[in-house]
Amino acid sequence: MTGVTEDAGRIRRADEDAIAEAAGILRAGGLVAFPTETVYGLGADATDDAAVAGIFAAKARPSFNPLIVHVADANAAKALVAFTPDAEALAAAFWPGALTLVLPRRADCRISLLCSAGLDSLGVRAPAHPVAQRLLAACGRPLAAPSANRSGRISPTTAAHVAESLGARVPLILDGGPCAVGLESTVLDLTGPRPALLRPGGITEAEIHDVVGPLARVEVSATEQPRAPGQLDSHYAPSRPLRLEATTVGPKEALVAFGPEVPAGAAATVNLSPSGDLTEAAARLFAALHELDRPELEAIAVMPIPEEGLGRAINDRLRRAAAPRRQL
Ligand code: TXA
Ligand code: MG
């Protein structure tokens, strides 16, 4: 191995001292994994081209994917992108929180062009997690941060997931406990005449509808460059095949259950929410897939999840995890 120190992949509880160390690493152009309320992010100084390139290298990520830039609040975002009335209303309603707004870059935008991946837009988000906010304040830079997993794999909702997926590729992982939302942010494109949903996520379409009215439909063609890589068919994939809408389960299968009535006979079962609560299910989804992704099992069977509210984002991730694997 090259350039790997014995400190590599070190997990530190996110106290003031650890946050100060993390801020120092980020200001020096290094990478730090940190908690947000959605999933853990792999952060770099978004104004530093080399640091941002380091994210792509660590994730082995296809370079056409743009990165979300994290900021403290709407004012900080306005220094980077041109806000619209819809952006004002959405930021007022949902920030800090699980909503990413894609907006035109300002002419004087200091953010690395790598974060925009060749587009003239930028995805910005103010995270709600106190550790993310303290880190932003301590380093004083906007932070580019995709989910802290290898490209195409399940997003991490604990510090241990990050260590499993990226290990020595990240020098410091700030541990802020399990993520409360557990699904990535909703990505909304505000560069067109109507807001368009690029990725369902922690804020539901109905909640967004209440603020800005109906959303434009995004048609994805197989040949076109995806507007959001969450649109690639196979994404968020565990290594075991997934079987959706399962109402029975085999002895060599793991079961992701939902609700009070669970079929018996699985090799292992995780119930996302015995009471059938979609918010609780979202928070547990990725941890369940991580836990049940065991080589000795033939498949992961998943019970039906209602296609409503956060269930849409959950089913979106499950369908991608179940899709035929495509070389990224
Ligand atoms: O919850 C989250 O969003 C997490 C945490 C760490 O903030 N981050 C995350 O990042 O999920 P990532 O890179 O795994 O997914 C970002 C999504 C991708 O689908 C990307 O294509 C889209 O946001 N995105 C970012 N900037 C964009 C842009 N300028 N145009 C279109 N899509 C963009
Ligand atoms: Mg991701």
**Which residues face 10 on adjacent strands?**
172
Element (H, E) at 257: strand 253-257
- Picking from 50, 57, 30, 29, the residue whose alpha carbon sits closest to that of residue 173 is 30
Please indicate whether residue 43, judged by its CB atom, sits closer than 6 Å to ligand 1: no
* pLDDT for the residue numbered 321: 87
Side chain identity, residue 60: A
User: Any idea which residue has 């792999």 for tokens?
Assistant: 42
* pLDDT for the residue numbered 202: 97
Average pLDDT over residues 6-10: 61
Give me 239's structure tokens.
Answer: 């290594």
* pLDDT for the residue numbered 50: 92
pLDDT in tens, 189-215: 999 999 999 999 999 999 999 999 999
| Cα 212 to Cα 61, 85, 109, 229, distances in angstroms | 33, 9, 26, 24
**Which residues face 185 on adjacent strands?**
none
**Ligand 1 atom nearest residue 61's Cα:** 13
- Single pTM value for the model: 0.88
Question: Rounded distance, CA 195 to CA 200, Å?
Answer: 13
Percent of the chain residues topping a pLDDT of 90: 80
Percent of the chain residues topping a pLDDT of 70: 90
Contact 240, 293 (CB under 8 A): yes
Q: How many alpha carbons lie under 13 Å from residue 285 in its C-beta half-sphere?
A: 32
User: Any idea which residue has 């056409």 for tokens?
Assistant: 64
From the CA of 70, the nearest ligand is 1
Q: How far is the CA of 216 from the centre of ligand 2 (A)?
A: 23
User: Any idea which residue has 């004083």 for tokens?
Assistant: 140
| In the predicted structure, residue 63 carries a pLDDT above the cut 70 | no
- The mean of the pLDDT values for the chain is 91
Question: Rounded distance, CA 67 to CA 82, Å?
Answer: 17
Residue to substitute in 68, 151, 189 for testing ligand 1 pocket (most ligand atoms within 8 angstroms of CB): 68
Question: Rounded distance, CA 116 to CA 45, Å?
Answer: 14
Please indicate whether residue 187, judged by its CB atom, sits closer than 6 Å to ligand 1: yes
Question: Rounded distance, CA 47 to CA 229, Å?
Answer: 22
